[in-house]
């Protein structure tokens, strides 16, 4: 099947964040006895964009958060998870404007963790008016700043501190097992209800202290969606027979990609979505080819910021 590229939709990108679409009225839950299945793969065509780079010495908690770093005092954030053959992970595939079908699954809301100075997961899917619960598993304070945004601009949803568990060790420079390899322990959960303004379709979340912490979510209006796995695969099941628009979404893709799919009773539709990699500079803090000399990260500082969990590689 051929992919069609629609008009560009520009998305405002923040240093650390999460994404969502506003819920439409009128989706009707019915019993689907003769549904079909849509399955396929998504690839990114072209060069994988460069990641973001953050100098840890300019931000708080450099010793603890530097446990994931490049060994030179930098934390790298790559929004594009792409395999060796272009397999594009964490792309949300969804059916647009489907009026009736299977019921939404039971859910108490979406859970996001702050773990090792990362928001996990990086991309998720929510329903409007659903509760998002954020929990701090780290021994450092985080601050969650959430925005809804679209081509029409941004609006603050909430800004609340994310407290840590008081039982965490405090001396992060202690090189003993207790100090360096602490157990993740949950702080007080922070629950926020997502109420999006009509017409806005992106929800993003960032940490006010650690700029490299971001998470995105897409707000869906029906249960016909799936996120691609590490092989770029997805499956959407129990689709009522009919003709639909299948849309691909990723927060850093600035074009709209969609296909028309025809679903027949009891059959499986196989499809492939090829997404053009964006070109040019996508963000102000893009990793550069030359050495970051202006920050003067000394050898002593580099030894302090030790990547004991993951030594990240520059592109």
Alpha helices in 11-104 (DSSP H): 62-65
- Please name the helix (run of DSSP H) or strand (run of DSSP E) that holds residue 303, with its range, or none: helix 299-304
168 within domain boundaries: yes
Cis, peptide link before residue 285, omega less than 30° from 0: no
Number of domains observed in the structure of the chain = 1
Q: What is the C-alpha separation between 203 and 228, in angstroms, rounded?
A: 19
pLDDT at 208 over 50: yes
With cut-offs at 50, 70 and 90, classify the pLDDT of residue 172: low
315 within domain boundaries: no
311 within domain boundaries: no
Q: What is the mean pLDDT of the segment spanning 114-138? A: 91
Q: How confident is the model at residue 19, as a pLDDT? A: 38
- Cβ(286)–Cβ(55) under 8 Å? no
pLDDT at 194 over 80: no
282 within domain boundaries: yes
Q: What is the C-alpha separation between 224 and 245, in angstroms, rounded?
A: 11
The DSSP call for residue 165 is P
Highest mean pLDDT among 68-77, 104-113, 123-132, 298-307: 68-77
Q: How confident is the model at residue 300, as a pLDDT? A: 75
The mean of the pLDDT values for the chain is 84
Q: How confident is the model at residue 127, as a pLDDT? A: 82
Q: What is the C-alpha separation between 232 and 165, in angstroms, rounded?
A: 36
**Containing structural domain, residue 113:** 4-306
- 304: helix, strand or coil: helix
pLDDT at 87 over 90: yes
Residues 6+ apart with CB under 8 A from 97: 24, 244, 245
Q: What is the mean pLDDT of the segment spanning 209-213? A: 96
12 within domain boundaries: yes
With cut-offs at 50, 70 and 90, classify the pLDDT of residue 146: confident
């Amino acid at each position: 099947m051929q992919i069609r590229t629609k008009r560009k939709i520009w998305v405002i990108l923040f240093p650390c964040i999460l994404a969502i679409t506003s819920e439409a009225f009128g989706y009707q839950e019915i019993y689907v006895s003769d549904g079909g299945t849509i399955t396929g793969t998504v690839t990114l065509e072209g060069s994988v964009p460069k990641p973001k780079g953050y100098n840890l010495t300019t931000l708080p908690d450099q010793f603890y958060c530097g446990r994931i770093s490049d060994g030179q005092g930098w934390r790298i954030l790559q929004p594009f998870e792409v395999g060796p053959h272009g397999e594009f992970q964490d792309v949300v595939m969804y059916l647009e404007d489907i009026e009736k079908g299977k019921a939404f699954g039971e859910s108490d809301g979406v859970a996001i963790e702050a773990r090792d100075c990362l928001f996990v997961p990086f991309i998720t899917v929510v329903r409007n008016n659903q509760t998002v619960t954020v929990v701090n598993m780290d021994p450092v304070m985080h601050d969650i700043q959430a925005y809804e945004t679209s081509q029409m601009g941004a609006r603050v949803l909430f800004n609340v501190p994310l407290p840590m568990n008081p039982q965490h060790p405090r001396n992060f420079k202690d090189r003993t097992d207790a100090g360096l390899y602490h157990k993740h322990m949950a702080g007080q959960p922070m629950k926020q209800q997502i109420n999006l303004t009509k017409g806005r379709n992106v929800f993003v979340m960032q940490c006010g202290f650690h700029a490299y912490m971001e998470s995105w979510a897409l707000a869906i209006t029906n249960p016909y969606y799936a996120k691609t796995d590490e092989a770029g695969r997805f499956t959407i099941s129990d689709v009522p027979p009919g003709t639909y628009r299948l849309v691909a979404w990723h927060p850093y893709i600035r074009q709209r990609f969609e296909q028309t799919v025809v679903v027949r009773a009891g059959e499986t539709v196989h499809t492939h979505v090829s997404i053009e990699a964006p070109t040019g500079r996508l963000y102000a803090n893009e990793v550069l080819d030359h050495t970051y000399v202006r920050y003067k990260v000394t050898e002593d500082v580099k030894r302090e910021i030790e990547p004991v969990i993951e030594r990240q590689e520059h592109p």
